[in-house]
Amino acid sequence: MIIAPSLLSADFGKLAQEVKEIELAGADWLHLDIMDGHYVPNISYGPMVVGALRPHTELFFDVHLMIDNPDAFIREFKEAGADMITVHQESTRHLHRTIQSIRAMGIKAGVSLNPATSLSVLDYILTDIDMVLLMSVNPGFGGQSFIPETLTKIEKLKAMAEKINPDLLIQVDGGINKDNAKDVISAGADILVAGSAVFGAADRKKAIEDFRSVK
Ligand code: DX5
Ligand code: ZN
C-alpha cells in the first residue's frame, strides 16, 4: 500500500517543513495537486513551488494536473522534479498524445477520471499508462466527502486491469479517511491519497500508520 499525502492540506506558510515532516512520518509519495482556476474552480500552485520543494525531500513527486491544456506544462513539471504526471481525461483533446509526451520525458504517466466519467474512456489507453487515478470527490478542493459509488468503480477497474495491464496502479483521491480506507483497499486500490486525514491530524505519523494498519 502506497500512502500519498496531498500537500493541498498542508500549511502553505511553511511548505518545505511540512513536506519534511510527512517524509519522516513515513509517507511513501507526495501528492501535488495543481489547479488553474479554469479546469477546476480553485488555484493552488505551479511548477515553481514544485521545483522549490524538490531539494528538500526524497519523496516520489506524484503530480496531479487539474489544468486546461496540460500539454503546455508537461516539460516544466518534469524539470521541476515530477516523477509521475497524471492528467485528467476530460482536460485534454488528445489523451494518447499527452500520455506519449509525458512518457517521452522518461517519467511515469497517469490518467485521472472524474466521478461521473465512465471507465470505458480507458479502453484504448490502459496498456499505455502506469496508473489510473479515480477521483472519489469532484476535483478542486480538499476536505470533501468520499463518493461511495467510487467503490464499484475501483472494483471494475481492477478487473479490467487484471485482464489487460496487470501492472497498472490504481490510485484513489478524495475524502479518504481511516473509516473508509478498508473498503477502498479491498475494492482494489494500490495508492491512497489523503490530504486532510494526514495534514489535518494532530499526529501525522499516527495518521499514516493507521492507514497502513488497515486490514
Ligand atoms: C482534490 C485533490 C485531492 C485533495 C484530497 O481535487 O485532487 O488530492 O487534496 O484532499 P482530501 O483527502 O482532504 O479529500
Ligand atoms: Zn489530487
CB-based contact 27:4 (threshold 8 Å): yes
Mark whether 33 is an active-site residue. yes
Q: Which three cell numbers stand for residue 118?
A: 465512465
Output the CA 165–ligand 1 centroid distance in Å: 26
Name the amino acid, one letter, at 166.
Answer: P
Minimum-distance ligand 1 atom for the alpha carbon of 138:
6
CB-based contact 105:71 (threshold 8 Å): no
Q: Count other C-beta atoms under 10 Å from residue 185's C-beta.
A: 18
Q: Which position has the grid cell 472519489?
A: 136
Q: What letter would DSSP give residue 42?
A: -
Minimum-distance ligand 1 atom for the alpha carbon of 196:
13
Q: Which of 34, 65, 112, 196, when mutated, tests ligand 1's pocket best, judged by the most ligand atoms within 8 Å of its CB?
A: 196
Phi, psi for residue 27 in degrees, rounded to 5: -65, 150
Segment holding 157, helix H or strand E = helix 150-164
Mean of pLDDT values over 131-136: 99
Q: Which of 33, 62, 111, 178, when mutated, tests ligand 1's pocket best, judged by the most ligand atoms within 8 Å of its CB?
A: 33
Q: How many residues does the chain have?
A: 215
The yes-or-no verdict on residue 32 having pLDDT over 90 is yes
- % of the chain with per-residue pLDDT over 90: 100
The yes-or-no verdict on residue 215 having pLDDT over 90 is no
Q: Which position has the grid cell 467510487?
A: 150
Task: Kindly indicate the confidence band of residue 52, based on its pLDDT and cuts at 50, 70 and 90.
Answer: very high
Mark whether 62 is an active-site residue. no
Mean of pLDDT values over 123-131: 98
pLDDT in tens, 166-176: 999 999 999 99
Output the CA 141–ligand 1 centroid distance in Å: 6
Q: What's the CA angle centered on 187, arms 21 and 200, to 5 degrees? A: 25
Closest CA to 154 of 123, 189, 114, 112: 189
Q: Is 6 helix (H, G, I), strand (E, B) or coil?
A: strand
Output the CA 64–ligand 1 centroid distance in Å: 10
Q: Which of 128, 173, 190, 210 is catalytic?
A: 173
The yes-or-no verdict on residue 102 having pLDDT over 90 is yes
Greatest extent of the chain over all pairs of C-alpha atoms, in Å: 46
Q: Which of 3, 6, 43, when mutated, tests ligand 1's pocket best, judged by the most ligand atoms within 8 Å of its CB?
A: 6
Strand residues in the chain grouped as ranges (E): 2-5, 29-35, 60-66, 84-88, 108-113, 131-135, 169-173, 191-194
Q: Is the CB of 140 under 6 A from ligand 1?
A: yes
Closest CA to 135 of 185, 190, 170, 172: 172
Task: Kindly indicate the confidence band of residue 154, based on its pLDDT and cuts at 50, 70 and 90.
Answer: very high
Give the pLDDT confidence score for residue 21 in this predicted structure: 98
Give the pLDDT confidence score for residue 87 in this predicted structure: 99
Q: Model-level pTM? A: 0.98
